[in-house]
Amino acid sequence: MSSSTSQKVRVAVAGASGYAGGELLRLIAAHPYLDLTVTTSEKSAGSRVSSIFPHLAGIVDLTFEALAPEALPDRADVMLLALPHTKSFDAVATCLKAGKQVVDLSADYRLREAASYPAWYQATHPYPDLLRQAVYGLPELHRAAIQRTKLVASPGCYPTAGILQFAPLAAERLIDLRSIVIDAKSGVSGAGRSPALPYHFPEAHESLEPYKIGQHRHIPEIEQELGLLAQRGTASSGPVTVTFTPHLVPMNRGILSTGYAKLTRDLDQAALRDLYATFYKGERFVRLQEGDKAANPRHVRGSNFCDLSVHLDRRTGSVVTVAALDNLVKGAAGQAIQALNIMLGYPEETGLLSAGLFP
Query: What is the closest distance, in whole angstroms, from the C-beta atom of residue 116 to its own copies in the complex?
Result: 13
* 355 burial type by CB count under 10 A (0-12 exposed, 13-18 middle, 19+ buried): exposed
Q: How far is the CB of 136 from its own copies (least distance, A)?
A: 21
Choice between 100 and 299, CB closer to its own copies: 299
Which of 157, 229, 286, 336 is catalytic? The answer is: 157
- In the complex, what is the shortest distance from the CB of residue 315 to its own copies, in angstroms, rounded to a whole number? 6
Shortest separation between residue 130's beta carbon and its own copies, angstroms: 28
Q: What amino acid is encoded at 293 in this protein?
A: K
Q: How far is Cα 301 from Cα 23, in angstroms, rounded to an integer?
A: 12
74 versus 203: smaller Cβ distance to its own copies: 203
Of 66, 258, 88, the closest CA to residue 161 belongs to 258
Q: Provide, rounded to whole angstroms, the least separation between the CB of residue 311 and its own copies.
A: 5
Q: In angstroms, rounded to a whole number, what is the distance separating the alpha carbons of residues 204 and 196? A: 11
* Radius of gyration from C-alpha coordinates of the chain: 20
Report the residue number, 148 or 281, with the smaller CB distance to its own copies.
281
For its own copies, the closer CB: 134 or 163: 163
Residue 28: closest CA among 6, 13, 50 = 13
Residue with smaller CB distance to its own copies, 59 or 115: 59
DSSP state of 355: P
Work out how close the CB of 57 gets to its own copies at its nearest, in angstroms, rounded to a whole number: 5
Transcribe 12-78 into DSSP letters. EEESTTSHHHHHHHHHHHT-TTEEEEEEE-TTTTTSBHHHH-GGGTTT---B-B---TTTHHHH-SE
CA 168/CA 153 separation, integer angstroms: 22
Distance CA 199, CA 166 (A): 30
Is 123 or 213 the residue whose CB approaches its own copies more closely? 213
What's the DSSP call for residue 65? B
* Residues 165/229, Cβ–Cβ less than 8 Å: no
Task: Please name the amino acid found at residue 307.
Answer: D
Known catalytic residue at 95: no
CA 165 to CA 326: how far, in whole Å? 15
Q: Which helix (H) or strand (E) holds 74?
A: helix 72-75
**258 beta partners:** 183, 322
Residue positions annotated with a catalytic role: 157
